[in-house]
Structure 1
Amino acid sequence: MRSQASFVSARAFFPPQPLPGPRVSRQQNPHFIKEGQKSNDSNPMPVSEWMAHLRQKGILLDPMEALDWSGKGQHVEYEPSEENQIPLKVERTIGHSATALVESVMCRRIRLAQKRIRCNRRLTPYDAVVEVQHLQRLKHFHLIRVVGTYIIRRDLAILLYPVTEWNLEEFMDDTIDQLADVKDFSGSYEHRTRVLSLRTFFGCLCNSLQYIHRMNIKHMDIKPKNILVRKTDTPLSDRLDRFKVYIADFGIARSYSSAADAETDSPVSFTRAYAAPEVCLQEYRSFNADMFSLGCVFAEMLATILSTVPSNRRTELQRTRRNEYGETSFHANISAVRRWIGEVDKSDFFEDPRYVQTRKANLGLVEKIPYLLDPIPALRPNAEDMAACTEPLQCLKCNTGPEQFESATT
């Protein structure tokens, strides 16, 4: 359970100065003593290779700004013998991959997601920490926040906020499953709340991707599993803000000094099902590759909203995405998917129970989704276009800055 009254500033839970101990000046603080520089007792303060790397990448913040979750700083190196000093209590496993375990942990009164990455010669800590470098630059209401990191043995742990109940794929699956529940039919409060939230997500995702691209960062792996959803359950929430969406997983994202530098053709990792054609072919690609992936996600969201008990549009879209060779990626079935979007009955989608402006935005959105899936990158709408088109669909907090930390009461 959470409550709006429990919202606090980051500083209240993660004070910038190490605790306990006397308050020290910036000059006395060991974080400010450079490698080789001498402290007041004339002893050199060693800086590890790892900390030097974090400083060089701009990840080590001014101690007055850093979130001191550990009492030893925002980014910490622990010896194996110090494992019991890590101030985190593991609650449950959220998920895992070949290289990472994601757990819900409590840090003081804040519930965080701990992404613990097992590093090796192929995936070094220097590779894995790139995600932290991106997230520390990005501060948006619909982006996951990085709280800190620590290293112990061969593991790099990244602490993220908040913990969510679903990724978007699971959220859409649950929404469809409710249609088959005789106790929760299509017109029920819970289902209609989820559908209204999905409508809002279109605007929130466009707004957040616009912000990411303005920061000259390409996400490069936009897909339902990398978009998270949580239930807000605040006393003032209504059906439009019962659920909140976040873009997450910047593990293979890339940042650039300018938009012009973002057009690259170097080999990259990608998720085939949602990757743009030029990414799969390893051709020149830019921000518009993210727009193709967003179009794939939007097609699935549209199918979920349009689903009814007799007509599961998500299953219908999945069948449409499978060609005669068994290929299920969007880029291999562009024509079929765009034709499905044009032909499916969208009358329920246009009957938005809100305002005339949102109905017009819905119409404009549906017109643009096929263009997001255009095989020619230059013909896709950019993030600025999509944010302008979907502005009436955004939540009221899209432009209010990063989400404040919220204490967990259970």
Structure 2
Amino acid sequence: MSESTQPAAARRMRLLERFPDGLILVRGAGPDEFNPNFFYLTGLTECTGTLALSASGMRISTGRDHPGPDYLRGRIAHQVLFLPASDPVAARWGEDAQATHEGTHEDAVGVDAVLPVDEFPTRLSGWLQGATRLNYVRATSASVGGPDDDAAFVDSIRNRFLNVVLQDATAAVADLRTVKDDVELAAIERAAEVTVAGFDRVLRSVRPGMMEHQVDAELAAAYRSAGAEHAFDPIVGAGRNALKLHYRDNAGSIEAGDLVLVDSGARLGGYGADVTRTFPADGTFSPRQRELYAVVLAAQTAVIEAIRPGALLGDLHAIAWRSIDSAGYGAAFIHGIGHHLGIETHDAGDIHQPLRAGAVITVEPGIYLADEGIGIRIEDDVWVTEDGSRTLTSAIPKTIEAIEAIMARR
């Protein structure tokens, strides 16, 4: 079993413990042809794959194929991975499947069998004839409106197999994903290290007269040189553009006296970072900018000091808001304090449940003053430990003194 798929095997066992009855089904297809739940449970990103699990087992061949004591029972598997066949023409163009039936051995991924994906409908139909429960893991959470391939697939099962009870197992996988294992934490730390290099490059190069997209390009260059990519479309907002929470144009110019807000993160090995820093274009904060920046930094510091197992994100947000409000800017803090982080930037995790050791969250207070054209946000990635927390992105300068010092060396 490879190092990349071994952790996924352990995750599958934990999921099987939660659903001892019936089948568990996870399809690779999801929004943008990526299902984070499939990746979490297999270590593969192949969007046409399907994973089937069963604690009691699924017959995958008849007794005539395996004569002996198991002649009538046949070969029984508990974990079956369906993958597409290799396409020589697509492979010639570099467009073949990311994982194929022929190229993936069952021992390499830690399953009992790897079967052609074309066999999946027939196999599933046979299994459901004798099953009473199907636990289905969606690619995303259910929502009202818009196309829903998961719902369409489940409806096809419901309309054909009247004896089968359907259960949504998505929340169980989300709960598992909330607490990162050692391999996940290491992957997030690597992504954070690349993000540190990206921000270091930006802080050493930004100056008045540049365009926002040039800052974007500096980040991309740093990430790509490390074999990583953007975890999400970066935000580079100078001056008034920093007031737009989801600004994506990155098309404005950077002028002397502007504050520049950069929200970015690298993705590496399937996991990403998410960091925001706000800094002066000309390398020195004005007195007013220093005043406002100190308010945001104090709020973030107070929140990070309060992070520990059992803490609620709602309570952490209230800490940030009270800190900012005590300085007179409560009305200017217009978004939440953070979110879970992992495979997805806004990762699986119930924001209303107490934090558990092993969770990774962002802490990102901010204030936005439209009448002054100033937007300031400071964001770090924080790992919840057994006795508190550790900031994974602390190497990126964020005090006024540290920012001015590194920018002075441009």
Q: TM-score, normalised by structure 2?
A: 0.26
Which has the larger share of strand?
Answer: 2
The structure with more radius of gyration: 2
Q: More relative contact order in 1 or in 2 (CA 8 Å, sep 6+)?
A: 1
